[in-house]
Amino acid sequence: MTAVSSSARLTRGTHLGYALGSIGTAAFGTVPGLLLLYYLTDVLGVAAGIAGLVVFLPKAWDVWLNPWIGSRSDRTASRWGPRRPWMLAGGLTLPPLFVLVFAGPSAPPALAAAWVAAAFLLAATAYGCFQVPYVAQPAEITDDPDERSTLMSWRVAALALGILLAGAGAPAVVDLAGGGRGGYLAMAVFVAVLLAVGMLGAVAGTRRAPTLTRARSEGRLGATLALAWRSRPFRVLLTGFVVQALGIGVMLAGVPYFSEQVLGDPAAGTLLFAALVGPAILVMPVWLRVGRRLGKRRGLLLASALFGAGAAVLAVVPEGGTAVALPLVVLVGVGYAGMQMFPLAMLPDVIAADEAASGDRRAGVFTGVWTAAETLGLAVGPGLLGALLALAGYVSTTGDEVVVQSGAAVLAVRLGFTVVPALVVLASIPVLARYRLAPTPAQEVPA
């Protein structure tokens, strides 16, 4: 394995450039989970169960695709480094493909669902080309765990900003453009701009970042995946993170339903989303200090407990109680910020420890498995909510119809936004409590 000296800290320009990518990943990771299920059921009239599958199946494709992209990017040799060519490909293709998801036919519902599924599959493929190598970069551009935490704090702050811009801005654009298919198409163009700015900004912003390790894993993909899975710290961290992604996915998909059916105000969805994501920008420095004082694992456990407690209490919010819901969602948002930052800071530590022990660069494989599992968890969330709504008899509509949902359907919406994500995230705590990572020789040297 060839190593390059890492005595110099990463520049602020590299921090900012790398963080820009999270504006793009936030937009794609948030908007489909927030609006695509609702678009299918309440604009195109697709049955809730079918709509859940349409959201889920293209993301399930990533379970195979992302590890393959990671393995190929591990082997990529170019003057741009191993990751940036893949990031550029994703950054150029995803924006137009995202618009295509919302540019298809509106009837019949079966054809509309097929169009969305096919376009979303292509978009998910382009997203994987960017996301997998992007997540692999921190393990290769610095070998200092504290520097990785700083880099991740920048990234998660940008992630929070991107989620806020996309999650609060996308519904607002739909409303400003008059709703319906036209409103959603305008929203898609708005999100495509965020995708392009973030992803291409990261390609340009990391052009001066070093590549500290240049060893290559030459084994077959299946064998390398098995080696990655045998890393106990990785296995534990990944399992807990995926469980949490499932809970977050359910809650995000439930925002528009909860706003309309429980709070009685569709416009409250923007406020709920801002309350969920907005605190992340403010509390990220606090979580960074918590991690340095208590450790990343304890910080993650604390953040998860806050999220679960806040989500559970949301279950008793009265009908029309937006003012009661917002402070509780802020508490959930504080936990959500930590749940985003700590795993992203812990993953490069796991990758670096594996590389120090094996001498092989498997960052792409690790991050390929990671992003595939995260994407699957976030996709299962809306699918789970769609199945719950279908079982409760939720009636799908087109944009012009007004339907009074049954009491069972409204209860399913309430539980899907509150109790279900709370239980799922709390279930991840015993798993993450088992995470342990012995420091590598590089980590034992004071910064």
In DSSP notation, 230-254 reads T-HHHHHHHHHHHHHHHHHHHHHHH
Query: Is 39 part of a structural domain of the chain?
Result: yes
- H helices, E strands: number in the chain: 18, 0
> What pTM value is reported for the model?
0.71
pLDDT score of 300: 94
pLDDT score of 256: 85
| CATH number for position 92 | 1.20.1250.20
Nearest 5°: the CA angle 222, 224, 227 is 115
Query: Is 202 part of a structural domain of the chain?
Result: yes
Structural domain that includes position 368:
12-439
How far is Cα 33 from Cα 47, in angstroms, rounded to an integer?
17
Query: Is 172 part of a structural domain of the chain?
Result: yes
Query: Is 383 part of a structural domain of the chain?
Result: yes
pLDDT score of 14: 81
Query: Is 380 part of a structural domain of the chain?
Result: yes
pLDDT score of 442: 41
Chunked in runs of 10, what are the mean pLDDT values of the chain (447 residues)? Answer: 49 84 87 85 86 81 79 77 88 96 89 93 92 81 70 77 82 87 93 95 83 53 67 89 90 87 84 80 82 89 95 91 91 90 84 74 72 76 85 77 81 93 95 77 36
Residue given tokens 């393990």 in the structure block: 139
Query: Is 2 part of a structural domain of the chain?
Result: no
Query: Is 311 part of a structural domain of the chain?
Result: yes
Query: Is 348 part of a structural domain of the chain?
Result: yes
Domain count, the chain: 1
